[in-house]
Amino acid sequence: MKRVNPANWLILASAFAGVLMLAWFAYWSFIGTGNWATVKGTVVTSEIKEVSRPKRSNEIGPTMVTEYEVILEYRYTVSGTEYTGNRIWSLSRAIFPSRAQAEDTLAKYQPGSTVDVHYRPSNPADAVLWSAAMLPTRAKVGIGVLLALVSLIMLAAALWLRSRSAPA
């Protein structure tokens, strides 16, 4: 009978826990925004900021990479209370690899323009402009397929480890 190192099971369990945590975070941080309430807001300021960062190990080219961040501020009112927001979406800052992409996004958010603001009903100060409700159905299906594939890979790894511990 082959013995499987218990560390293998620990690694698999840790990876599975990490995938679950990532899925939970993605759901509540972005997918969950699809159920948030929506009000009209007004863009107060908007600009593009050039951001330099060291290149990642999987990137080719110069040691520093220039990206473009869309920074904006908007105001909205919920139940008579005015709030100020600055997030475009919930998962990260709005950073683009090219200035043209940043300018395309910025064009939609000029000062004085009216925007849909999606806010968490239990905490109206938590708001974004891009919600999961805006995702096309194909993207939602793609996210589901991706999570299903990760689950199948984890299952295959567990079965492989189990087969290694079975009698020869």
What does the buried/exposed string (b/e) look like for 3-15 if buried means 16 or more CB atoms within 10 Å of the residue's CB? eeeeeeeeeeeee
Q: Helix, strand, or coil here: 41? A: strand
What H or E segment, with its residue span, contains residue 140? helix 137-165
Taking residues 51-58, report their average pLDDT: 82
Q: Specify the higher pLDDT residue, 47 or 33.
A: 47
Q: How far is CA 59 from the centre of its chain?
A: 21
Query: What is the structure's pLDDT at 139?
Result: 59
Query: What is the structure's pLDDT at 132?
Result: 63
Decide: 75 and 84 in contact? Cβ < 8 Å. yes
Query: What is the structure's pLDDT at 5?
Result: 65
- List all residues 6 or more positions away from 48 whose beta carbon is below 8 Å from its beta carbon: 68, 69, 70, 71, 99, 102, 103, 106
Q: Give the number of C-alpha atoms closer than 13 A to the C-alpha of residue 128, restricted to the C-beta side.
A: 22
| 94 closest CA partner among 83, 106, 81 | 106
Decide: 65 and 95 in contact? Cβ < 8 Å. no
75 pLDDT band, cuts 50/70/90, is very high
DSSP secondary structure of 69-101? EEEEEEEEEETTEEEEE--SSSSS--EESSHHH
Query: What is the structure's pLDDT at 148?
Result: 73
Highest mean pLDDT (candidates 33-37, 48-52, 62-66): 48-52
Query: What is the structure's pLDDT at 152?
Result: 74
Decide: 126 and 86 in contact? Cβ < 8 Å. no
**134: pLDDT strictly greater than 70:** no
Question: What percent of the chain is modeled with pLDDT above 90?
Answer: 36
Q: Specify the higher pLDDT residue, 108 or 62.
A: 108
DSSP type of residue 127: E
Domain extents for the chain?
Answer: 36-134, 135-168
Q: What global pTM score does this model have? A: 0.62
